[in-house]
Amino acid sequence: MKPAREDELNKNFLPLTWTRPVEELRCGARALKDHPQRKAKYLWDLISHLKEDLEEDFRILGSGVKGKVHPSAVLYQPENILIEEGAEVEALAVLDARGGPIYIGKSTIIRPHACLKGPLSIGPDCRIGGEVSHSIFHANSNKSHYGFIGHSYIGEWVNLGAGTTNSNLKNNYSTVKMRSGEKEIDSGEQFLGCAIGDHAKLGIGTLIPTGAVIGTCANIFGGGMIPKFVPAFSWGITEEFKFDKAIEMIRQVMQRRGKELSGEGKELLRQVFLATAGERKK
């Protein structure tokens, strides 16, 4: 088995395509394969066109509340919100869909006092608190506490510690450059946050610069501003997260949700570990 994606298009979507083909990337509320009209070339295309892709999905999926919403929660423009079965919006949370649709996947929990601003696609089975806007979260990822995530793309099984915050706008208001494959490219976007690969863990107080890319299984701690590029399987930025230790952590995390890492999944991650060894040595 080889890790994702050796062709040029798939490289443009790293680190998310280390663990899935590009057509399985979330695009709106569904996958890119469900949006044949979306000719995305780079990862940030899925962020910049999120509003339009969600609007198309809502024409198919509809809107409405299928899960639970606490009576004290506030939903701005509820006709532009879809809360799937098993999802829950807890007390005093605010879902503001005036700027674009909000999709909350099955079994996702929106924590008290969370502030969510559309366009936004989250879940399934995520835990979300603090402020989140114009972003995509794949399944089983957590941002349970205060902090801001905006104009960003978050993979599966990611955990963002309390106070983790990304910048999505440069101080000089110029367009944002983001790493794509082995190059840094001007996205042409004024608002662009970060891309975080599957199984990455960011400790409390992590500050993420504009246009950052954080690799698969990176384990970041210590707080403060991190580099704009963090390789896969990094341990605290400068060290290597040993493969067996990373797998042990992943199994513990997945067991908390009643799931197991398959042998195929482990082998895929091993190939990612080997393929990205050179990045960690630079």
Burial classification of residue 256, based on how many CB atoms lie within 10 Å of its CB (0-12 exposed, 13-18 middle, 19 or more buried):
exposed
Cβ(38)–Cβ(217) below 8 Å? no
Residue 115, domain member (yes or no): yes
**Is residue 165 helix, strand or coil?**
strand
Domain count, the chain: 1
Determine, yes or no, domain membership for 2: no
Give the pLDDT of residue 6.
52
Question: Does residue 282 lie in a domain region?
Answer: no
| pLDDT string in tens for the chain (282-residue length) | 455 555 666 899 999 999 999 999 999 999 999 999 999 999 999 999 999 999 999 999 999 999 999 999 999 999 999 999 999 999 999 999 999 999 999 999 999 999 999 999 999 999 999 999 999 999 999 999 999 999 999 999 999 999 999 999 999 999 999 999 889 999 999 999 999 999 999 999 999 999 999 999 999 999 999 999 999 999 999 999 999 999 999 999 999 999 999 999 999 999 999 999 999 987
Number of other residues whose CB lies within 10 A of the CB of residue 71: 5
Using CA atoms, how far apart are residues 152 and 187, in angstroms rounded to an integer?
13
User: What is the C-alpha to C-alpha distance for residues 19 and 268, in angstroms, rounded to an integer?
Assistant: 7
Give CA–CA dist 72/63, Å, rounded. 20
Nearest-angstrom CA–CA distance, 179 and 197: 13
Inside any domain, residue 154: yes
Q: Which of 265, 104, 103 is nearest to 198 (CA)?
A: 265
Is 13 among the domain residues?
yes
186, part of any domain: yes
Per the domain annotation, does 23 fall within a domain?
Answer: yes
Strands 30-31 and 26-27: antiparallel
pLDDT value at position 1? 46
DSSP label at residue 136: E
C-alpha distance across the termini of the chain, in Å = 26
Which domain covers residue 210, as residue numbers?
8-276
Instruction: Tell me the CATH number at 14.
Output: 2.160.10.10
Residues 46 and 67: beta-carbon distance below 8 Å? no
Asked if residue 3 is part of any domain, the answer here is no
